[in-house]
Homo-oligomer: A and B are copies of this chain.
Amino acid sequence: MKKSLRICIITHTLTENPNRDYSLGSFAELFGCAKSSVSEDIKVVREAIETEGLGYLETTSGSRGGVRFVPYLSAENVAKVLQELKAAFEEPSRVLGSGFLYTSDIMFSPSLIKGAARIFAKRFASCEAELVVTVETKGIGVALLTADLLNLPLAVIRRESKVSEGSTISINYFSGSADRIQQMSISKKGITPGSKVLIIDDFMRGGGSIIGIKNMLKEFDARSVGTGVVVVAGGVEHKKVSDFVPLLVLHEEEDGGHHFGINENLLSY
């Protein structure tokens, strides 16, 4: 097979399957060529991917030598994603009569949340999470794409326990947004005891549901090693949690206006 075909196939295989290891031998076998040729091909792929600013390749040497695609965003690409998200959230048509913002379409827009997931995957690349957890419903999209980029499973905590979940653990928590006690529930099979967990959610106001998730994790002797939220409401001074990474900060004005600020910290690392 020609070198140019080989590098296309390597590029596609690695980038479609982020953070999964591929051995040089498996490519050599697929192409019917020497490992040394694959090694040369990978040099080209590495240069191309680094030029794009969307990721890099990590290689391990030795007889079991392999390669993986690690998604990444240059600061310039992070800024671009955040500006796109900000513009989407600030569309005037989202303001509902109730003063709430309609955001479901954004949270389930593959194009928009792919970018958000790439930022989380970059930010939490080194947190050593073994599982991504979210609570239904609107954060599921971004949590799933983040899990895919980090090659982790996703567990979704439900609002109600379902018969198809088997034995479940349920906890109660106080939701400031809803101004009442709410319940969340997950199958005993949902979280491996002792896991390190990355929490991803769409929106945080007081932090009640994040606290709920953390209390749920305790039931499994699991613990969070990072928390990412797409939007945090800036108006609540005393959050119940402090260690979280928002992409955007929502400023609600007294006249009912909404503005979104970008989390500038994400641009400088």
Contact = CB atoms under 8 A, between A and B. Distances in A.
Interface of A: 1, 3-5, 7-9, 11-13, 15-16, 44-45, 47-49, 51-52, 54, 96-98, 100-105, 108-111, 114, 136-137, 140-141, 144-145, 147-148, 151, 153-156, 158, 163-167, 187, 189-190
Contact of A44 (B8, B52, B100, B136): B8
B109 A153 contact: yes
Contacts of A190: 104-105
B52 A9 contact: yes
A227 to B, nearest CB: 19
A164 B100 contact: yes
B7 A8 contact: yes
Contacts of A100: 163-164, 166
23 contacts: A3-B4, A4-B48, A5-B51, A7-B8, A8-B45, A8-B49, A9-B52, A12-B15, A12-B48, A12-B52, A13-B52, A96-B166, A98-B166, A103-B164, A105-B190, A108-B155, A108-B156, A109-B153, A110-B147, A111-B151, A137-B156, A141-B144, A141-B154
A196 to B, nearest CB: 17
Given A108-B156, A109-B154, A136-B137, A102 B164 contact: yes
A54 to B, nearest CB: 7
Contacts of A13: 52
Nearest to A101: B164
B108 A47 contact: no
Contacts of A12: 11-12, 15, 48-49, 52, 54
